[in-house]
Structure 1
């Protein structure tokens, strides 16, 4: 109910029934407590997806009375925290950070939510689908149930006007996948996103954060994680390698030399978020439950970059010829790794 100008003023927190002068500590505690209430599943506003530690708007929040006014409030809270340099105890999905920054989501962002559906889309893009798939630019109710976050029954949806009468071909398949990603990651929660922005942009204009990318924005909102490398190493599983493999020995030596920010980038790259479970890496979650940090041997050219499957907390690491080569490739991947297939 406060004006935008009021919100830009200094916040002083007093807890009812408690003595204490706010020299910064009470404000930090207030932000932490408030963020935990906002993102509590019982509030119906946000839902966890994928690894159960990242949040995005719940498409079923309509069952919460005046839910859009709450999303505007949440936008104000996140904006005020950024404005005040305070940290929140929350990690959003990669696609939601992209929405905040105005960056286009792609089909790659679906992998963290539904890896099987992502594999189908990836197969379409990598293979000639002529006379193989019978698809149109629409999603019928049965198919829709498979890809919506809450798997609810809906009516047919056309991706473009008259889409149910337009076939997907080898020539237009990239457009189809692009529209599927937009529908899956944006359209289903568009009212909630818009309400969040209404509050957020009162304090933080998009121009002010446009210099950041999605992974940097997560660290800006949530802060650098406290990563215990000994714990991480003790809870890592290998495939194609063993703990004694030279490449694995080099990997841990390289990561040990990383700055705190690069360690966070590595965690983001492999798991999709910089969040470390309170119980440590033994409690790391994947798409289907408990899933430890994974390092798999990537077969092929040693010139390839490492790749990751965030839904499985899995790093695919080529067998590099030297520690220096591994360090160069790994740093390039966590800083510059692209989105894969682009859309024209």
Structure 2
């Protein structure tokens, strides 16, 4: 009862790792319950390159545990049993399509490349609706539920919406620093505000398509705003209403739809025990350094690489210990599809980081099966060859494929 009261009223006195473990333990029991009758689960068929389209079609089935079945580009079912790896692969493809420009219009990015919902006119112009945001929220919730890290960084003002918080003027720099500076100028202007600035309680925005193109429309910040000049007496109200529109009103419907889908998976009372920065950590892991000792402790091996002190495995750890942090992140992304370490360490990576023998050829590059976090490593005979092949593969992603 005491812990429950603390979580409800003063959660931040507890360490983040403890709160994250409480969330994980709560979802773990539910995940086990979902997986009891795996053979009875409805199959969800996903075409390669159409994860968002097909996932949206099967959104009801995907709201719970489902069996993912992939179809290749020729319409043939791919072999594979979904013990969790295929769902991770589906999520990886889904994130790539939604957040990395293959599905245009649903999300925009700040100057810091942080994601937030696009304006509703643009969304409608692209042929999408609020149900698409519910589906995306649902899938982000499933990823948090299963501890699957996503390559997606969200803007703080959008993360506020996940836990029911409004945004205020001081949040505006996270969306648009230039608008923030402009409003600061209005707020602190010493001259004749009405005569010199010529503003009223309206703003102009594009109707749809790419930002800054297409038809424009006028939005009144308050009823009759077109006929209300901004004066020294009402400029604080103008600044507040402008910030409120940009941070809250403009993305309100999209954010509520996203949150509805998210809260179907994880109740808001659980999300509310985390700050916005911590919520981002739940989604995509931490940006702290890669702990090689932790990774090595929690790595598994297959076939001949399971032998104690296998020379190729010893060489691998010796070689990557010389990598700078940037290359370690590229290696992690190459194998797991996410460059960040799991939230609570590599023991939480599911499936575990695995190194699998692939070839004895010294010319072959390493490859990876991201759906099962597996590095397929040829048995290179020297440190120099292994280092050059690994760096070439992870820097160019030339060996990246799904299997």
CA distance in 1, matches of 2:325, 2:62: 41
Which one of 184, 201, 225 corresponds to residue 137 of structure 1? 201
TM-score normalised over the length of structure 1: 0.56
Is residue 136–residue 165 contact of structure 1 (8 Å, CA) maintained in 2?
A: yes
CA distance in 1, matches of 2:225, 2:128: 33
Pair 51,226 (structure 1): closer, same or farther in 2 beyond 3 Å: farther
Residue number in structure 2 paired with 1:55: 115
Deviations 1:27-84 (A, max 9, x none): 3332222211222424224344234632222221212334332222112111222233
CA distance in 1, matches of 2:99, 2:212: 21
Pair 225,181 (structure 1): closer, same or farther in 2 beyond 3 Å: same
Which one of 152, 158, 163 corresponds to residue 220 of structure 2? 158
Residue number in structure 2 paired with 1:333: none
1:222 paired to 2:284: yes
Query: Which structure is richer in relative contact order (CA contacts within 8 A, separation 6 or more)?
Result: 1
Deviations 1:204-231 (A, max 9, x none): 3322211222111111111113647966
Secondary structure at the counterpart of residue 56 of structure 1: strand
Q: How well do the aligned residues superpose, as a CA RMSD in angstroms?
A: 3.6
Which structure 1 segments of 5+ residues have no match? 233-259, 262-277, 280-344
Q: Report deviation, 1:124.
A: 2.8
Deviations 1:95-114 (A, max 9, x none): 21112222222234433443
Residue number in structure 2 paired with 1:111: 173
TM-score normalised over the length of structure 2: 0.49
Pair 172,88 (structure 1): closer, same or farther in 2 beyond 3 Å: same
Residue number in structure 2 paired with 1:41: 101
Which structure 2 segments of 5+ residues have no match? 1-56, 72-76, 291-322, 327-341, 344-393, 396-403
Deviations 1:157-211 (A, max 9, x none): 2111122333333443332112111222333333322332332232233222112
Is residue 39–residue 45 contact of structure 1 (8 Å, CA) maintained in 2?
A: no
Greater mean alpha carbon deviation, residues 153-162 or residues 41-50: 41-50
